[in-house]
Structure 1
Amino acid sequence: MFSSGVLLLISYITVLLLLAWPLGIALTRLVDERLPLWLVRFESRIKIVDNSHMNWQTYAAAVLLFNILGAVVLFFMLLFQDLLPLNPQHLPGVSPLLAMNTSISFITNTNWQAYSGETTLSPLSQMLGLTVHNFLSAANGIAVAFVLMRALARTGTQQLGNAWADIWRITVYLLLPLSLVYALFLAQQGVVQTFAAQIDVPGLNGVAQHIPLGPVASQEAIKMLGTNGGGYFNANSAHPFENPTALTNFVQMISILLIPAALCVCFGRVAGDHRLGSSLLWTMGIMLVVAALTIMWAESHGHPVLAQLPVDQQISALQNGGNMEGKETRFGIWASSLFATVTTAASCGAVNAMHDSLTPLGGMVPMILMQLGEVVFGGVGSGWYGMMLFVFLTVFLAGLMIGRTPEYMGKKIEIYEMKMVTIAILIPPALVLLGTALALILPQGLVSLHESGAHGFSEMLYAFSSAANNNGSAFAGLNANTPFMNITLAVMMFIGRFGVMVPVLAVAGSLAEKRHQPSSAGSLACHGPLFVGMLIGVVLLIGALTFIPALALGPVVEHLILWQTH
């Protein structure tokens, strides 16, 4: 029954908001740098935190340097994996191009995987390499969001915080405690956490099966909380060792959007007006609900090809029904559809179903969510500051319509800010369209395709949408482990992350220096239904103008062909 999907969605939104509210209040202390006295004493004793403030240029340089050094370390760790300990499977080192792609993938919070985790990476590479960067890449995104919040709240200053202090505090005081509690919960539910390489069990035909194991629960926790994605196993969150029960599936979906939602609450408190944070939550929530209901509707109608076969796709009390191809029967249509929505609304990329097996319209929704710039909650930090770029654009357009200088929170949005906003908004779609075009023109790109026609085009478009917007999910019918794809996608992931992050910091630096202007009768109210509707319209308008032609060549054509021929 479709009502079951609606009830699941309502339950999900309710629990998410109930948990995000107290976490958002706690995050405010990190933004305002108001730590408990015992933490201040602890930091002064260990002398690892530098409290000197940075301007935006220094902050950006620190973030870039930190991530580049992290990528280099991870690259060599993967390259020489066979020489390092904790490799009970005696796996060889990763090839240079794949190691480069994976390193950039994990420092950019994309976590794109052109390999099968359990047969390619050792427990040491998974723990010390990938899991560590799951923490650090998430902390980077949140830190940049903190900088923009401070810039809007402060006046006449260049003091935006310290990058090293922010990354340390976010990692140690926020992500680590949440991940520890979460990992213990997952282990209690049945997610494996062991250094054993595998377990051997007799198969039904008498031949022993070798089932891979590993330290999964600890990686799964930060994978979800940090909107990282990527899986210890190739099957990702469809694997029973990563996602064993209906409860873990629900909690994983909650954890993906928990920090992004909490950042909206946090912003309202930092700004001194909770309505500003609520307007962002309403905007993101409305778009999420519409996307989830659309996927549920598309998948519940089944697949036209299967309808011609003796396959019962009717939803009933005894079966899931609908298009169950590529989905776990223990999750069914509704939980799989909601998971697909949540993981692509955030820049997570973890999946509990095969997105390549979604119906054309069902698969188009995750694609659009990524192509909108991952702003419907989005990644931790990056989703919030991505939506703020659209807020500034909305305020600017509204200011032009009423003949007033655009302003937000009493700060004027002028030429310099709009240049940076435009650059940041246009970089991801430019990368997506350019990368897709090159891959479909050059023979080095075409060799990755196993499908022809509209679906093959959709697979390639999805891959570049995922990489440039730092999502990491895939249609997976594509061979991404080729020299062309490894290099091209790595470039897309790096520019898609830092090509947006640096302009955001530039906007923050400019706004922080400005004085607050008192509001007047002609000031635009940046909250309420009117503003929420305008903001949604601007986000959709940018996406529509950019991607409708490409979508028409892929999922739209595929949908029309399938339903006309069957």
Structure 2
Amino acid sequence: MSAIIIQQAIFFIALIGLAIPLGFYIHKVMTNQKTFLTRMISPIETKIYQFLGMPAQKEMTAKQYGLSVLFFSFFSFVILMAMLLGQGFLPLNPEKLPGTSFSLAFNTAASFITNTNWQAYSGEETLSIFTQAFGLTVQNFVSAGVGIAVLFVLLRGFTNRTTKHIGNFWQDLTKIILYVLVPVSFIVSLVLISQGVVQTFASSVETTSLELGQKIFLPLGTVASQVAIKQLGTNGGGYFGANSAHPFENPNLISNFIENISILLIPAALIVAFGLFVKDWKQGRTIMIVSLGFLIAALVGVTLSEYYGPQFAHVIGQMNLEGKETRFGIGWSSLWAVSTTAASNGSINAMLDSFTPLGGLIPMFLMQLGEIIFGGAGSGLYGMIVFILLAIFIAGLLVGRTPEYLGKKIEPFDMKMACLVILTPLLLTLIGTMLFILNPQAMSWLNNQGPHGFSEILYAFSSLANNNGSAFAGLTTDTTFLNILGGIIMILSRFIPMLAVIYLASNLGKKKVVATGSGTLSTTNATFVTMLIIVILVIGALSFLPSMALGPIAEHFMTK
């Protein structure tokens, strides 16, 4: 256990050490300051704006920005779905794989444009090199870019002074992709290739198995480039069905460390950039403390559950090694599980379905909080800021004062938008679970019965409604019903909160800054940090405790 503690401590030190300079860099990019890449990238950026024409030149209102987000995402959806359906006629398909079914194409396209990367298929058996490289990998870049762009719209709402304009979507997206996502992904890809992650346009390789001496085929592809952005953009979709438990995606402890850092790196860096953007680093510090506190508490819970699981005492001492890669063990598997569900990443390096009941409950609960603990690229931080507004509003009601945050008064319209952000994923999780269970065929799609079977369903819809993408493996995912229902849930849970954030930002930007007075609630002290934690926990606990009691909690008491 002491070795696990040291490993995890080194991880967090490295994460903060890398996030701080990256946060400074992102702040420079999004405030139009010169960086060391400006001379190289600026000509490309200019050409893109010239190609886009007038839409890339003018400031946008909330309506214009929101429509741009929807138009771009719909265009991405149509292109990716056409690519999936017509895969058999496209190049770089050495295995001659046919196009997918309509329902699977719909689900996969919805999944990747929403930054969810829910995978109802096994990549090496279903998708060609072309589809993975030019369809899925491209969407990993742009879906992450859209989330970060909307975050900075909200930040402009706090810093703008009496203006309805909130920036330009095409400029925001271009800057984020060219200056942040592409360079960092290129570096991570090179490091992963150096560790043995596959990167080739070659087809499968025929070889002989060591155990039975039979001929087998080892699938290859452009893996490293997809793995880098799937982690950095909090996307999570694996090139192979086994995701980052596959040795071609994650060969050793060094690659595992780099990929795990990558999951949380940009979300953590955005918290640093937030403090710089609003010119109050203490605000960023508050969010960092809350996020790290939740993440470390979750990590301790999962690690102890897997290390001291009492139901495994008769098999392997007290440790639960089922479903875990021996090269990673309990420590790195537990860290990955909480990282991938705190961020809306969804990649795996161990079988979550094999975790102990409490070890599986904690990652599920992290998703159900709205994935605001670091969260998705951009979307996690604007979700956390919305929770801050809610905590401030509640405090204002308690003391009879108009709530304020960063000098802007929080009024009824702002809280309506905040409620849309918080309640949409919550309601879609519960509604989706209900609709699935009511389906007469539901039991035939489960490999497990009883509380664990219910946990598989609840986990799946917690993942779908919170743009995560991970799953308990006991649920049959490639069915027409789940493909269509899941695709609709992913789209609604992504774009309703996103549009609400855009209109919230516009409304905040129209307001004058209120001078800080003796009665202004401090949002940087220990009292507010405690209150924010309580608000987050109460909303999550009240919403999901009854359903948790039917799943992982019941299973825990049954297996003791």
CA deviation digits over 1:360-382, x for unaligned, max 9?
00000000000000000000000
Q: Do the aligned partners of 2:433 and 2:457 also contact (CA within 8 Å) in 1?
A: yes
Aligned pairs for 1:452-531 (under 5 A) are 452-531=449-528
Instruction: Tell me if structure 1 keeps the 8 A contact 2:30–2:175.
Output: no
The question of 1:58 aligning with 2:57 is answered no
Q: Which residue, out of 359, 375, 378, partners 1:362? A: 359
Aligned to 2:272: 265
Counterpart-to-counterpart distance in 1, 2:500 and 2:193: 41
TM-score with structure 1 length normalisation? 0.96
Deviation at 1:35, TM superposition (A): 4.3
**Separation in 1 of the partners of 2:57 and 2:10?**
42
Residue 33 of structure 1 is matched in structure 2 by 32
Q: Distance in 2 between matches of 1:161 and 1:325?
A: 50
What whole-Å deviation, never above 9, does each CA across 1:320-371 have from its counterpart, x for those lacking one? xx10000001000010000000000000000000000000000000000000
In the alignment, the residues of structure 2 paired with residue 157 and residue 479 of structure 1 have an alpha-carbon distance, to the nearest angstrom, of 50
- Structure 1 counterpart of 2:11, one-letter code: Y
User: For residue 118 of structure 1, what is the amino acid of its counterpart?
Assistant: E
Counterpart residue number, 1:535: 532
- Partner of 1:285 in structure 2? 292
Tell me which residue corresponds to 2:95: 89
Question: 1:44/1:434 Cα in 2 relative to 1: closer, same or farther (>3 Å)?
Answer: closer
2:136 corresponds to = 130
Q: Distance in 1 between matches of 2:291 and 2:358?
A: 21
Report what 1:235 is aligned to: 242
The alpha-carbon deviation at position 45 of structure 1 amounts to 5.3
1:428 equivalenced with 2:432 (yes/no): no
Partner of 1:332: 329
- Residue 294 of structure 1 corresponds to 301
Matched residues in 1 for 2:196 and 2:401: separation?
A: 59
Aligned to 1:141: 147
2:171 paired residue number = 165
Name the structure 2 match of 1:318: none
| Superposed CA offset, 1:62-118 (max 9, x none) | 001100110010001000100001000000111110000000000000000000000
CA RMSD of superposed structures (Å)? 1.3
- What is the one-letter code of the residue matched to 2:435? L
2:45–2:175: 8 Å Cα contact kept in structure 1? no
**1:31·1:149 contact (CA, 8 Å) conserved in 2?**
no
Q: Is the 8 A contact 1:284 1:376 kept in 2?
A: yes
* Conserved? CA contact 1:31–1:150, under 8 Å: no
Deviation at 1:40, TM superposition (A): 5.2
Match status 1:104 vs 2:95? no
Post-superposition offset of 1:42: 5.4
Pairwise mapping of residues 390-401 of structure 1 onto structure 2 (< 5 A)? 390-401=387-398
Does structure 1 conserve the Cα–Cα contact (< 8 Å) formed by 2:45 and 2:174? no
Query: What TM-score, normalized to structure 2?
Result: 0.97
In structure 1, the partner of 2:186 is: 180
Kindly provide the CA deviation profile for residues 146-200 of structure 1, in whole angstroms up to 9, marking residues without a partner as x: 1111111111112211101111111111100111111011001000011122111
- Counterpart of 1:29, as a letter, is K
Query: Aligned letter for 1:88?
Result: P
- Contact 2:389/2:410, CA 8 A, preserved across alignment: yes
1:114 to 2:120 alignment = yes
2:26 matches 1:21: no
Task: Note the residue ranges of structure 2 that are not aligned, 5 or more in a row.
Answer: none
Q: 2:217 aligns to what SS in structure 1? A: strand
Q: Is the contact made by 1:303 and 1:323 (CA closer than 8 Å) also made in structure 2?
A: no
Distance 1:447 1:521 in 2: 62
Amino acid in the other structure paired with 2:273: C
**For the residues of structure 1 that align with 2:170 and 2:33, how far apart are their CA atoms?**
16
- Any conservation in 2 of the 1:396–1:406 contact (CA below 8 Å)? yes
Distance 1:121 1:477 in 2: 22
Contact 1:9 1:289 in 2 (8 A): no
> Which residue of the other structure, out of 313, 316, 319, is the alignment partner of 1:312?
316
Pairwise CA distance, 1:44: 3.8
Tell me: CA distance 1:43–1:452, structure 2 relative to 1, closer, same or farther (3 Å).
closer
**Matched position secondary structure for 1:447:** helix
Separation (CA, whole Å) in 1 of partners of 2:43 and 2:553: 59
Counterpart CA distance in 2 for 1:182 and 1:343 is 18
Q: Does 1:212 align with 2:211?
A: no
Amino acid at match of 2:326: T
Residues 509 and 242 of structure 1, relative CA distance in 2, 3 Å threshold? same
Contact 2:162 2:510 in 1 (8 A): yes
Per-residue CA deviations over 1:109-153 (Å, capped at 9, x if unaligned) read: 000000000000000000000000000000000000011111111
What is the distance in 2 between the residues matched to 1:44 and 1:209?
49
Per-residue deviation, 1:33: 2.9
Letter of the structure 2 residue corresponding to residue 78 of structure 1: L
- 1:479-523 per-position Cα deviation (integer Å, ceiling 9, x unaligned): 011111001111110011111101011110100110101000000
Q: How far did 1:41 drift? A: 5.8
1:138–1:226 Cα contact (<8 Å) kept: yes
Shift, 1:43, TM fit = 3.7
CA distance in 2: counterparts of 1:513 and 1:493, whole angstroms: 31
Q: Matched residue of 1:200: which SS?
A: strand
Residue pair 1:459, 1:478 contacting (<8 A) in 2 also = yes
1:313 aligned partner, one-letter code: G
Q: 2:203 aligns with which of 197, 204, 209?
A: 197
Q: What SS does structure 1 have at the residue aligned with 2:20?
A: helix
**Distance in 2 of aligned mates of 1:127 and 1:20:** 28
